[in-house]
Amino acid sequence: MSGAKIELRGVSWGHTRGMLPLHATAMALQDQGQPLQVQWEVRSLQHFADQSVAQLAQRYDLLVIDHPSIGEAVHAGAFLPLDKWVPAQALQDLARHSVGVSHWSYQYPDEQGQVRQWALALDAATPVAAWPQGQTQRPADISDLLEWGRAGRLSMAAWPLDMLMHFYGICEALGEAPFLRPSALVAAEVGEQALVLLRSISDACGPQAQQSNPIAALRRLALQPGKALAPQFCPMAYGYSNYARRPLPGQRRLSFGSVPTLGGRPWRTTLGGAGIAVSAHCANPEAAAQHALWLAGAQVQTGLYTEAGGQPGHRQAWLDEFNNDMTGGYFRDTLAQLDSAYLRPRYPGYIEFQSEGTEVMARYLRHELDTKAALAQLQEADVRHRKGWLNHDDARLHALAQALRAAPGVESEGGTHD
């Protein structure tokens, strides 16, 4: 990048993992005397999940987004198709180095039905388990969690949005993935069983669990224990490598791994993470797209982005020896869970369903709804928003990702949890 000064505005989400690597990379450009200047602003974690990206795209050039918003963004014409601005070879390389299906989660058909790349994977995450480093005793199966919860030994992220994400994976583990019936979210017996299981865990952990998103649950687990009994295990929360790094005073370092089994079998948690998109209103689309590619590329992701507190979306960074030494093996030990992670729907209207579903889950966890009523409300909201769309993308894209990981020359260590 050289020539006249170019200024871009970007928006990310409010946590060390979401902001520090972007500030660090922006400052690195200034240190190198590059003409590109990127000013990053912040939005909350809740807004990251449910705020309209179409509205944000009118104010910012670069947007760090959650993949389920892609359908809404494409429908509103909010983003530029990056395959017009990024060389095909570069996109193919990013696909070969995807963490799970992160890369493909930002693909979606345009109005003509052509599949386009609307964002690049910048960050990858899914619910994983966490415990204080060096602790050897921990629950092996979900059936063990009730006893641990009642004894005050769990730090549970039972925030209603997160419990809705767990609901998807638990349903599949019980026999049926959601969003595959034209007129129902999931079979009644499966959905009810999943809801009962999740609420029983939440109840065992007490009301504090429902107030805890993953950051709060992991922060509580990372606190040095005082005189009171400290929690010893977080069974399922979106992973944050920040808590696996050298701890701050008053904190203890956490280790991470796959979630407890369900009936002795591994199960798939729901893919999170973040991608970087370019607004359709951007005045400098070429510079913005090239910056997005620079941020998502192997060199920045494996180096400065991760070192500055980021949780990369590039597979090479997850297998990097230095990054794993820095995080006590976080990336290596959770990669299998990432590679298997369930892909949420991305149709226009899914974000509205997710918001309504989160409220239903909140009322259910507070015992304001019984199980049948809660599932009925989820079913009604799903049918109203989804309009018969079926989530075949999950199985299709996982098959594609597995085929690429099996290809010669592609790093695949750790990705065997299916």
CATH topology of domain 127-270+349-387: D-Maltodextrin-Binding Protein; domain 2 (3.40.190)
Mean pLDDT of 52-60: 91
Query: Is residue 228's pLDDT more than 90?
Result: no
Residue intervals in the chain for CATH 3.40.190.10: 6-125+271-334+394-405, 127-270+349-387
Summarised one tens digit per residue, pLDDT across range 277-318 is 999 999 999 999 999 999 999 999 999 999 999 999 999 999
Please state, for a pLDDT cut of 70, what percent of the chain lies above it.
94
User: What's the mean per-residue pLDDT of the chain?
Assistant: 94
Query: Is residue 107's pLDDT more than 80?
Result: yes
Summarised one tens digit per residue, pLDDT across range 153-182 is 999 999 999 999 999 999 999 999 999 999
Question: What pTM was estimated for this model as a whole?
Answer: 0.94
Q: What is the pLDDT of residue 1?
A: 47
125 contacts 13 by C-beta, under 8 angstroms: no
Summarised one tens digit per residue, pLDDT across range 315-347 is 999 999 999 999 999 999 999 999 999 999 999
Residue 4 — pLDDT band, cuts 50, 70, 90? Answer: confident
Residue 418 — pLDDT band, cuts 50, 70, 90? Answer: very low
Residue 230 — pLDDT band, cuts 50, 70, 90? Answer: confident
Residue 35 — pLDDT band, cuts 50, 70, 90? Answer: very high
Mean pLDDT of 372-389: 97
Pick the CATH number of 6-125+271-334+394-405 from 3.40.190.10, 3.30.70.100, 3.40.1010.10, 3.90.1520.10: 3.40.190.10
Q: What is the pLDDT of residue 295?
A: 98
Q: What is the pLDDT of residue 45?
A: 61
Partners of 37 in beta bridges: 7
Q: Which residue has the higher pLDDT, 330 or 1?
A: 330
